[in-house]
Each structure stands twice: as C-alpha cells, then as structure tokens.
Amino acid sequence: MTTASIVQSRHTNPLLLAAALCCMIIGMLLFQAFNPGWLRLPNYAALHTLLEILSIAMSLLVAVMSWYKTDSSKQLRVLAIGFLVVAALDVLHAVSYPVLPAFLGENTPHKAIVLWLGARSTVALTMLFMLLPQRHHASAVYLLLGYGLLFAVTGVGYHDLLPQLFIPGHGLSGLKIGLEWLLVASYLLLAYRMHSLKQSIFASQWLTAGMLVLAFGELFFCFYQLVDDLANGLGHVFKVVGQGFFLRGVIETRLLLPYQQLNVEKAAHEDALQRLHTLVASAPLGVLVIDDAGCIVSSNPTAETLFRAESGELTGLPVEALVPEQMRGRHVQHRRDFQQQPQIRRMSERQGLQAVRRDGSQFYVNVALAPLHWDGLPHVLAFVSDVSSQVQQTMQLQWLADHDELTSLPNRRATLDRLGQVVHTPGQGALLVLNVDALGRINQVFGHDVGDKLLVASCLRLQSLLLPTETLTRLQGDSFAVIMPGEMRPDARGDALLAAFASPFQLDSEVRLQASATAGYCLFPQDCQQPDTLLQYAELAMTAAKRSGQHKVMQFNSAQPEKTRRWLELAGQMATALQQRQYFLVYQPRIALHDGQVAGFEVLVRWQTPQGLISPGEFIPVAEETGFILELGRWILDQAIAQLASWQREQLAVGRLAINLSTRQLSDAGLQAFLLQSCARHGVDPAQLELEVTETVAMENLDWALPVLQQLRTLGLQIALDDFGTGYSSLAYLQQLPVSVLKIDLAFVRNLDREEGRAVVHTIITLARTLGCSTVAEGVETTAQRDWLLANGCHEMQGFLEARPMPADAVAGYLQAKAQG
C-alpha cells in the first residue's frame, strides 16, 4: 500500500463530502424556487469583506505551497501562478464592492462582477492547464499571468466599456446569467475530467470535490437580485468552501503525505530490523557464520535441526566436520579460494552435493555463500537447505524419461537410443515390434486395471523368452519392441515370442484371459540404419500383420509404406466425402428361387470421388479401423430406411432390405435407439429390415455380440449370418445366435461345378434347415448354379445372373420389367 493510499484511507472521502454540499445547495435553490425573493443581509459589506479575505488567504496559501517543492513532491507552477492571479483578482473584487470607499476608481456592482468573473474564470483556466501535458506548463504560466493582467486592467479602468452585467433596480443581466452558467458548465466538465484521471494528476479527488462545490455554489450568482441578498452571500460562502477543498488537497500532498511517509519509512526501518532478527532465527534455511579459520561461530535453529545437533552444539565446530570425509581435503581448498576472492557464490550448481549430520547420516544439500564482516573481521555466511527430496524426484524423473512406469522397461525414447548404438556396430540384426491384440476391448470390458495386469504379465513372459543379447522395451500402450542384434532367423524368434501368449493369463482370482499378439519386424542394415525409420518400418510390418487377422509375424517389405500412405489418404478424406455427398447406395435384388420373384434387396455403399470410384473392399476396412464406420454406418441405415419408405409410398414391392453391420457397429451402444428412431421417423416397420453380420464377427465376439443380436431380434429385425461357411462355427454356438437367414459365401457357389463344392453347399442348406433358417446363395452367375440351388432346397439367390447392383432410381424400372417378363 502506498503512502498516499494510507493517508487517503484515514480521512473522509472528499467526493462524498462535496456531494453532500451540492445536495444542500440544490435543496436551498429548490426551496427558494417555491418562496420567491431572497432575504437581504444586514451589514453585508463586512461579511463580504471577511469572506473575500478568507478566500484570498486560501488562494495565497495554495499558491505558496504549490510553488515550493520537497523531496516527496514536485513544483506545481501552474497551480501556484493560477491561484496567485485568483488572489489578486479577488483583492480587486473585494475593494470594488459598492458600499466600500473608492480605492481604484468608482465602485459599482458592474465593476465588482467583472473582476469576480475574471477570478472565477482564472480558476477554470488553471485547472484546465493542470490537465495539459507537462511540456505545456511553461507556456500556461505566461498565459495565466497575461489573462489575469488583462482582467485586472479591464475591470479597474475599462469596465464601463463592457456590456452591463448588473442593472440597478432590475438585477442581473442576461449576459451575466449566461456567463455564470458557462462557468458552472466549465467547472463540471473539469471536475469530470479530473475524476476520470484519478491518480495521474495532483490531489485529484480534492480538486474534483472543490470544482463540484464551486460549480454548484456558482448557481447562487445566477439568481440573486441585490448585491446584499442571501443568494449573493451563500455564493461567497460556498466559494470559500470550494477553495478550502483546494487548500486541503495541497496541505495533504505537501504536508501530510510527506509527514506520513516519514513515519511509515521510520516504522518500516524498525520493522525491517525486527524482521531480520526473526528471519534469521526462524528462516527455513540453515544459516552458519564461519570465521576465517573455518570454525562455526554462530548458527540458527534451522541449521541445528538440519544437522541433527543439540542447541549450541555447532558453535566452535570446524565446518569440515559437516562435510563427507572423502570431500574434506577439497573443501578446505575451496574455503581458502573463497577467502581470497570473497563474493556471493552458489556452491551446489551441480546436483549431488552432500553433507554429514551429527549422527553420521548423509543428505543432499544446496549451499550458497556470501562474504560477511562481523565485528570488523571477515566471515563467511553459509545458507544451507536440504534438497534430498528434490534430488530424489529429479532422479525419478530422469529414470521416467527413459523407462515405462508400469513395466519398468525402457520406453520409446530409450528404444531409439539403444537402437542407435546397435545399428552403428558391425554386424546385422532385426527390430521386432509386438502388439497385444484387442487391449482396448479388454480395457472396456474388464477395466484398465486388468489391462495393466495383462501388460505386466506379458512383459514377464516375454522377458523369460529373451536371449542374452536381446533387449525388450515398451513403445506405447499395447506395443513392445525387441532389439535382436546378431545373425538369427527373426521370423523364428518372433514365433517363439508369440508363443508367450499361447496359454491363458490368470490375472487374479476371477479373471482368466486368453490373449493373443501380432508382430512385425525389419532388418538392419538391409532395410535401413536410421533408428526412427527402422522403428517405423517394424511398426508398418506389425500393422500389416494385424490387418491380415492371422496373429502371426510378418516381415517389412517396401510396398507397406505406400499402402499405409493410401490408408492415411482414405482415412483423411472420409469425413469430408460424407459432407460432400460422395457416398451413394446401390441395391442388388434377391430372388426367391421357387417362383423367381423379388424377395428383397441388399444395400451396398459406393464412394465416387472426383478421381474415380473407390472400391468398398478398399475403403470399408479403413472406415472400420478408424471408427468412421459408426458415422458412415448410421448414414447408410438412415438412407436405406428413407429409400424403403419412398418405395412403399410408390407401392413398389421391394421386399426386405438387407443392410450389413460391422464389428464396430455392433459395439455401438446407441444402435438400437437409432434404428427405432429412424424407422419411426420414416414410417417403416422394423420387420422389413434384415441386418447382416459376418460369421467371423459373430463367432469371434460371441460374448458381447450375442446379447446385442438378441436385442435387435426382439425389435422385429431379421438377422442374417453373412459369408457363412468361411468361419469356424460350431453347431452349439450357431444354435445360440438369433439368426433367421444363412448366406452361403460366393466362394462355395463358384465351386458348384465340382463334387466337393456341391457337398459343402448341400451341408450348409441341410444345417440351415435343421436350425430353422432360410438360405441365400451369393454370387450366382450361371443358370446351372441357379438350377442346382433350386433343386437342393436353397430359398433365395443373388448375383450377376439376375442383376448387378443398381441405383435407387433404377429399381422401379427393374421391377416393372420383372413383372412384364
């Protein structure tokens, strides 16, 4: 808090006082408005003279105190000269009062008013010049002197040449009243400006308050009728009060503030001495005073606590007693060097500086030194702090910078460092990246604690299979790396490491998981010798192996970066393509074999870019991996349902619509609600929809897919098992699934010209009949295939023999031709 704020806080707010006085003036003027005529004051000449003497004295005090400067205040020449001119004009005004003896020519009300207006306008000019930048103040002084001289000469010698301001028997002239209102407005504007500047000008609050009182007091001079009536007297009273505010501001700034500042500085000095004593005694740092011989002559309680010493025990000890024994010889030399060149110095810029407690234990310290003259003799002031916890934290952070906290394995950064060392040594080797499959899903189902336990258990199994020359690291959440220097078969080593996942993991008493992993590797120096590029290549190989879905080890090849770039290109364009309506749906009819009629349509999605059509076989896997399939899948469902509603309004018999669902879509918690809302919005019965899931998706995720499929079935939706026969379903598992349709994969349909192919399809049809499901054959391209399927009890077919997938606007024509043909 500054001295000015301290003083201000101890006194009445001048603006509040000025506001109260202004309200009083308004009350007086309102009272008089309902009671015409002002009282005349007896012996007003004496009262007028007394009030003017007070005003003149105040102006002179303001001028004198503003002229001189002190160490804590600057010279205010503008204010000093301005109020000197005001005092001079007020003197001339006072001696020009009509009933007083003529001193400088005949005294008239007109003459007195001219000098009055000169003094009051000088106040306004002074305050205006105070607001100007400092560089204009010198010119302002001369302008004020010239202005005052002009009014003095005019008022005394040439006032008769001016328009009359007071008309005997009538009172104030219109010009006089207008000039008074101009003064009022000037005072108010200046008060507002001063208040807005606040602390940037001298005594702003007191000057603002004074200008407000003068402005409202000047209103009395707009309404008086006689030179000795009450309005004239009140105007002079409030002029004195207003100038009193000015004087109070000067006194505060020139006298009170310096005096208060002196007291504050004195108290601060005394307080500083007391604080210094308290600070040394209770400082959080240990303080030791050491003489020229290296003995401790004084210490504070904190130092005694740090070194576990009794009170006064440190005094008289050689400082080397607090230094580890192996460092004492060097410390003596350091102390002598400091005595030769004493200056403020930090001894422990490096970490690891240790000290010895009195009980013999050691701890890490930070020490700063400063020269000290005590009783005329040179001493050393040592500040000691215990930084053991900070050093340990730093060491922990340094360890974490190169290690994985969960498994304690080297992290990605350390992997690159170690790889850089290995690749620059003679010989060859391999870098293998191993990824734990489906860790994200394990975290979702069982929680992250179980996922962390699986990673730790995987780490332990992998470490048990390492060769002495190999290094296991953890790259990120579900990925490990193995650096394998020397000549070996990386594929065989990879298979050996994947064998760590052959048996289930017993993670706790209730959780037993069968996990799997996928790996990819690259060779050095054959593929590359840059560590970051090698890691990229190994990760590309691992990603390629994971996409194959076979949980195997795959070697890097040069085509993988290009495939990855294409993958990234498609992934980056998918969302924009949906916004730009580049996706569209086509519909392939399904035909009932027994009568050749349309049983329904399968919905297929296509992507048309400005560069051409992108195959679904290329972009659907990318959408599945990135998760965009959730947004795209919902768009497909809603568009297909809307199209079905449109065909129904056109009374087209299109049958059921079959729509494919991916693994990601099955895990969409909002899928059921979305389907119901879309059907309700478009007016479609859910029973007219058939959702297709592949056999692989259903079987590999049976634990969580089964409840989802059962819930969808309860909504009235038909469930079809697509690509049936390509997976490894058992009859027991199939009986659990709420499927109503089995779709025979086109690979089997193409083999109908061979005996073994016909046997497989016949088995599928028989199995479907046993399960109470209908069958749909995919990819039928010949009449021989169709006839065999019909003869062997297959219910429906689809394929190029009947029709290729067609856009929605071609379906009506197709149905019409079908009906006519």
Query: Which of 420, 442, 440, 437 has its CA nearest to residue 429?
Result: 420
pLDDT (average), residues 24-32: 83
Going from the C-alpha of 641 to that of each of 113, 624, 634, 814, the distances in angstroms are 96, 22, 11, 20
Sign of the dihedral through C-alpha 752, 754, 755, 760: negative
Fold adopted by 42-259: Rhopdopsin 7-helix transmembrane proteins (1.20.1070)
Please confirm whether the linkage preceding 342 is cis (ω < 30° from 0).
no
- Name the 3-class secondary structure at 751: coil
Fold adopted by 403-557: Alpha-Beta Plaits (3.30.70)
pLDDT number for residue 401: 86
What does the radius of gyration of the chain's CA atoms come to, in whole angstroms?
Answer: 50
pLDDT (average), residues 120-147: 88
- Name the 3-class secondary structure at 676: helix
281 touches 300 (CB < 8 A) = yes
User: Where does the chain hold its CATH 1.20.1070 domain(s)?
Assistant: 42-259
Q: How far is residue 379 CA from its own chain's centroid?
A: 51
636, pLDDT greater than 80: yes
pLDDT number for residue 730: 52
- Is residue 5 very low, low, confident or very high in pLDDT (cuts 50, 70, 90)? very low
Query: Which of 427, 424, 407, 385 has its CA nearest to residue 481?
Result: 407
* Residue range 578-820, CATH number: 3.20.20.450
User: Where does the chain hold its CATH 3.20.20.450 domain(s)?
Assistant: 578-820
End-to-end CA distance of the chain: 100
148 touches 118 (CB < 8 A) = yes
Task: Identify which of 111-125, 243-257, 793-807 has the greatest average pLDDT.
Answer: 793-807
In tens, the pLDDT along 485-538 reads 988 889 999 999 999 998 999 988 778 888 889 999 999 988 888 999 899 889
200, pLDDT greater than 80: no
Going from the C-alpha of 541 to that of each of 219, 558, 563, the distances in angstroms are 94, 10, 11
245 touches 203 (CB < 8 A) = no
| pTM metric for this prediction | 0.47
- Strand 598-609 relative to strand 656-660, pairing: parallel
18, pLDDT greater than 80: yes
Instruction: Give the helix ranges, DSSP H, for 372-525.
Output: 388-402, 412-423, 439-446, 448-465, 490-498
Average pLDDT, the chain: 85
Query: Which of 515, 431, 517 has its CA nearest to residue 481?
Result: 431
Residue at token pair 């879509």 = 665
Fold adopted by 283-392: Beta-Lactamase (3.30.450)
Query: Which of 130, 119, 128 has its CA nearest to residue 58?
Result: 119
Please confirm whether the linkage preceding 621 is cis (ω < 30° from 0).
no
pLDDT number for residue 419: 92
- Check residue 223 and report its DSSP letter: T
Query: Which of 654, 627, 655 has its CA nearest to residue 814?
Result: 654
144, pLDDT greater than 80: yes
Give me the amino acid identity at 587: Y
C-beta neighbour count of 198 within 10 angstroms: 10
> Rounded CA gap, 476 and 282, in Å?
49
> Rounded CA gap, 650 and 321, in Å?
102
Query: Which of 266, 321, 256, 263 has its CA nearest to residue 288?
Result: 321
Residue at token pair 């990824």 = 435
C-beta neighbour count of 817 within 10 angstroms: 10
- Name the 3-class secondary structure at 699: helix
For 354, counting Cβ atoms within 10 Å of its Cβ (0-12 exposed, 13-18 middle, 19+ buried), the class is middle
Dig out the tokens for 804 from the structure: 């290729």
C-beta neighbour count of 339 within 10 angstroms: 13
Dig out the tokens for 760 from the structure: 């497989």
- Is residue 261 very low, low, confident or very high in pLDDT (cuts 50, 70, 90)? confident
pLDDT (average), residues 185-200: 82
Residue at token pair 């170690």 = 418
Instruction: Give the helix ranges, DSSP H, for 252-307.
Output: 257-282, 301-306
- Is residue 37 very low, low, confident or very high in pLDDT (cuts 50, 70, 90)? low
User: Where does the chain hold its CATH 3.30.450.20 domain(s)?
Assistant: 283-392
CA-CA-CA-CA dihedral for 774, 780, 785, 789, to nearest 10 = 0
